[in-house]
Structure 1
């Protein structure tokens, strides 16, 4: 799937796409199943848990409008819990399964769901810990960065600049740490590392290659967003035409009470989008991990032996690209 040498940016992105092409039955079986479950859950949450915005009379006072907005905001945040939980579960399963799909594909080995699941299942609790730890780290950084400014908001001339400065500093620290730990999930799955061990391993592999890792990850995010927009926008337009007042309600500013047909059509668009973008988003960090190990640890020699390339010796009994 990839050349056994240090990889360029284009080869890493092409490798992620090649996995989808070469093993589309297994990859789409994973991504479509996870996406459908995710979308059904999101659809039910949106339909039954998120309340409709309260209707205000034209003569409502500013205080009444503020109270209604706060109530709507509280209800929305309360409904976010199940949505976040669904997203967490979807992320864990797609990351675990697709990481092992790619590791097998790199070696040219047969990729069957039963084999991938058997390899992934013991690592799911560890991946859960890592998936929870990284957002918690970001929340803690944001709290520390914003706290001084928030405490001084009663004095706007001091509090507002501190909030702005803290926001900027917090964003810089979060981006730096998230790139530093971008390869942690691959290390956790393929090297059987623990949560803290995988973070240390990622930091070691990214050291000296932070900007390159940042550029490839940023390009991947932009690419997946672009693909999502290209796929989702037509489905959204069709959903608006099919359901409710369509463009008329949106353009007139009266809004539209979207029904099941709108939610189902947009949900189908999201499933199609996720089925294509999940392999790319999950594959790039794995291929980056392999690339960094090739550059630093001559992993290409180990991969060549594992793949049975002549002249590199017999393959080991366990030929996955692990440490």
Structure 2
């Protein structure tokens, strides 16, 4: 009975079952006599080859049905293999057979075979079994990051590498935004807020409501102007830096004009997205503080104060959870050309199940950027305070009364440098975190490899990720 193609078990019931597949198509008869037996006479039936078999057969591991016709040139079975291998045989009784090594090769542990010169596990062959495998090949890296799931350090390094590789474009955009924001802050504080603070001091016990309300109005107007200018400038910078970072991942350069042309159609939607997120945050905080305010207005001040404190705490927790949940909406809107509603849904889908990881990366990025900005800004603020004879309480404009122009300008220079250095890092981390989540969930690395023109390279998406 035939067990496997090309192999027949000994002791077959008939000669037809003992033949190999393909032997029936031979041009020579299978019963051609050997030199020691007479040729059959005409009209007589030829003898079957099974009738001349010996009763003592070799072990099953060293014998199988011959592939050719019996004859004087048939090669006898080879001796058993050497001590290098005790497993099943992978060959024939001779070269090209089924009981020993194939033609042109030795057995396992023999010359020309596995574990020997020219074989597997030696110079010119394959690595030995059970060792020597170095893992999957490295992932493709056409740009600032490898195209596989990223660790925290790789995300931060990719943001810094983007700024270093495309420093003219990135720092030019960041410098323009920082210059606009800091100039508006210095001008508004120097002209508007200083006059309001000079007219009324909020910690003066003799100040009346008629004195405080106009000053408070001017301060709120000035803060609103600075906030609007900052929001617009940072929005444009975020749109441009998102485009630049996405190109840097593919290793493709992009100019400021090209980034603007790609990002401009989505800027109105991006403005609407940020406005909606601000309304959501404000609505959550209002919903948390409103019950406590109502209780306080009803006359129960102690209970109202306790409820207000709990409401504020709960509101900030919910608002923080929502901000992380929708943190990736900006790159989803810019890079996928999504609507506002779909961008929020995409962010929620990508963050689902990874909220704590995203929160940790965002928190770490915020700490790093704040430390860098403080390291750059505080020396300038100290120099400004010394030059303008300001007190240490005026380093950030927190002291009573007006602040000198020298202090505002010098401190503004430090803030300008700090914002220029940290804004690209924050925007880059946001984009790379979005790409990382899509690689983990949607195998975006394959699409990025095709877009970058990487061929014949393993992405490594299933490999280990350092620094998760």
* Greater alpha carbon shift after TM alignment, 109-118 vs 3-12: 109-118
Bigger helix share: 1
Provide the C-alpha distance between the structure 1 equivalents of 2:455 and 2:399, rounded to a whole number of angstroms. 70
Deviation digits for residues 95-151 of structure 1, max 9, x if unmatched? 100000000000000121111111011111000101111111111111111101001
Superposition deviation, residue 72 in structure 1: 3.0
RMSD: 2.4
Structure 1 residue aligned with 2:179:
36
Is the CA contact (8 Å cut-off) linking 2:387 and 2:406 kept in structure 1?
yes
Q: Which runs of 5+ in 1 are unaligned?
A: 313-323
Name 1:275's counterpart in structure 2. 420
Distance apart, 1:286 and its partner CA: 0.6
> Which structure would you say has the larger Rg?
2
> Is 1:53 the equivalent of 2:197?
yes
| Partners of 2:313 and 2:393 in 1: CA distance | 38
Task: Describe how 1:206-245 pairs up with structure 2 within 5 A.
Answer: 206-243=351-388, 245=389
Unaligned runs of 5+ in 2: 1-143, 458-468
Query: Which SS does the other structure have where 2:147 is aligned?
Result: coil
> Deviation of residue 157 (structure 1)?
2.5
1:75: Cα distance to partner? 2.3
TM-score calculated relative to the size of structure 2:
0.63
Does the aligned pair in 1 maintain the 2:198–2:402 contact within 8 Å?
Answer: no
Greater relative contact order (Cα < 8 A, sep 6+): 1
Residue 241 to residue 122, structure 1, CA distance change in 2 (3 Å): same
Structure 2 CA distance for aligned equivalents of residues 123 and 115 of structure 1: 14
CA distance in 2, matches of 1:250, 1:101: 38
Distance in 2 separating the partners of 1:250 and 1:93: 31
Moved over 6 A (4+): 248-251, 253-256
Aligned to 2:252: 109
1:190 aligns with one of 323, 335, 344? 335
CA distance in 1, matches of 2:394, 2:327: 40
Please give the per-residue CA displacement for 1:135-192, whole angstroms capped at 9, x wherever unaligned: 1111111111110100111311221111011011101100100000000000000000
Contact 2:177 2:234 in 1 (8 A): no
For normalisation by structure 1, the TM-score amounts to: 0.90
Note if 1:295 corresponds to 2:437: no
Is the aligned partner of 1:90 residue 2:233?
yes
In the alignment, does 2:273 pair up with 1:130? yes
In the TM superposition, what is the alpha-carbon distance from 1:249 to its structure 2 partner? Answer: 8.8
Residues 198 and 401 in structure 2, CA contact (< 8 A), matched pair in contact too = no
Match of residue 317 from structure 1? none
CA–CA distance in structure 1, aligned partners of residues 344 and 392 of structure 2: 51
Q: Do 2:295 and 2:301's aligned partners in 1 also have CA atoms closer than 8 Å? A: yes
Matching residue of 1:118:
261
In structure 2, do the counterparts of structure 1 residues 306 and 61 end up closer, same or farther at CA, with 3 Å as the change threshold?
closer
- Offset of 1:241 from its aligned partner? 1.4
Work out whether residues 325 and 351 of structure 2, in 8 Å CA contact, stay in contact via their aligned partners in 1: yes
Equivalent-residue separation in structure 1 for 2:370 and 2:380 (angstroms) = 15
Q: 1:61 to 1:78 in 2, by over 3 A?
A: closer
State the SS of the aligned residue for 2:411. Answer: helix
Match of 2:310 in 1: 165
Partner deviation per Cα, 1:246-301 (whole Å, 9 max, x = no partner): 348969x9967433222211111111011111011111111110000000010011
Inter-partner Cα distance in structure 2 for 1:166 and 1:262 = 39
Change (3 A) 1:254 1:233: closer
In the TM superposition, residue 306 of structure 1 has moved relative to its aligned partner by: 0.8
The equivalent residue for 1:246 is: 390
CA distance in 2, matches of 1:223, 1:185: 21
Give the length in aligned residue pairs. Answer: 309
Asked whether the 8 Å contact 1:54–1:72 carries over to 2, the reply is no
Which of the residues 156, 171, 176 maps onto 2:321?
176
1:208-243 CA-to-partner distances (Å, cap 9, x unmatched) read 000000000011111111111000000101111112
Deviation at 1:61, TM superposition (A): 8.2
| 2:274 paired with 1:139 | no
